[in-house]
Amino acid sequence: MTDDVLISVERNVGRIRLNRPKAIHALTREMCDAMSEVLLAWRDDPSVQIVVIDHAEGRGFCAGGDVVMLARSGATDAVDAKAFFYSEYRLNHLLFTYPKPTVAIMDGITMGGGVGISQPCEYRVATENTRLAMPETGIGLFPDVGGGWYLPRLPGRVGQFMALTGARLDAGECLYLGLATHYIEQASLEDLYDRIVQAPSRLKGTLGAAQPVAPQAKIEANLGLITKLFASDRLEEVMAALEADDSDWAQSELATLKSKSPLSCKVSLRLLAEGANRNSFAEEMRAEYALAGRIVRTHDFREGVRALLIDKDNNPHWDPPTPEQVDDEMLDILFEPLPRHEQWNPFPETGE
């Protein structure tokens, strides 16, 4: 166990609280293992009926994973990075297949790994502070932790838009798109938890009764443009469509897209295209694990982490520098399945 995860049971409710506030609760391998261990213990424990996942103090639910560690590992043998992904994806899959009701409180920043532990939950609560995003193309990574499963199943081409641009969604937008199931104001969260504890068997009604009117979904006004301009699975065609549209929105998104890693953007589009046709979440995690172990060893990942998180000059030098220079052969190498003995596998208890 680790102090970075607080675990408790009150009456029939198990509570997992992320407790790494200085890092906005970014996940470590130890945190993933601690959560998986207790979830497996509670899985067949009749005294635990519901699991609530939230954060202790701080301004966000979970900012992602420890990407600086991943970049340092990728610069050598990537062993630690692969071990982290293996544990994290097992946790994601365990939550996806969990037989008991799970509630994620997505208060504040919910990005990357935070999306990975909230989206598998049956109930996903957003607050006025929620900012949900998959910003990985800005650091040379890709929307993992199940992004290849969730994003292509969103309305229209919103998933592709999110994957490419790293767009931050608020509570109203998360509700509108189904990324959240409920909206509750932050000031009411502790009261909500107390009411869940008082009546675990009435969880759905308790969440519904606590829900005020949610903010309007601003993204709704741009759905037509997103569907039209992000229609292609080819990055060059998406950028050409944005270039040809003279609206302020299109030009703003084009500028954003030009700041991202071309390699990561192409990887992301291919991941979503393939993920849309996968038959199981375990199959998705297996493909993402193979891809993640290779992408952390690329120049763009190390450079993106350097520019945005270490030196913080916000001036990454991508290689290849343009979409046209990222060819299919580069992608084929990254997407190659691993040999069977190196593949990711879920916990045996999940039955897959």
Active site residues: 65, 113, 136, 144
CA distances 14 to 43, 49, 230, 311, 317, Å, are 11, 8, 41, 40, 46
Three-state SS string across 67-82, please?
HHHHHHHHCCCCHHHH
Query: What tokens appear for 54 in the block?
Result: 């939230």
Instruction: Answer yes or no: are the C-beta atoms of 56 and 21 closer than 8 Å.
Output: yes
Distance CA 162, CA 273 (A): 14
Which of 45, 268, 281, 36 is CA-nearest to residue 150? 281
Which residue reads 């067949």 in tokens?
44
**Strands of 99-185, DSSP E:** 102-106, 109-111, 123-126, 131-133, 182-183
Residues sharing a CB contact under 8 Å with residue 246, sequence separation 6 or more, in sequence order: none
Residue carrying structure tokens 């994290």: 88
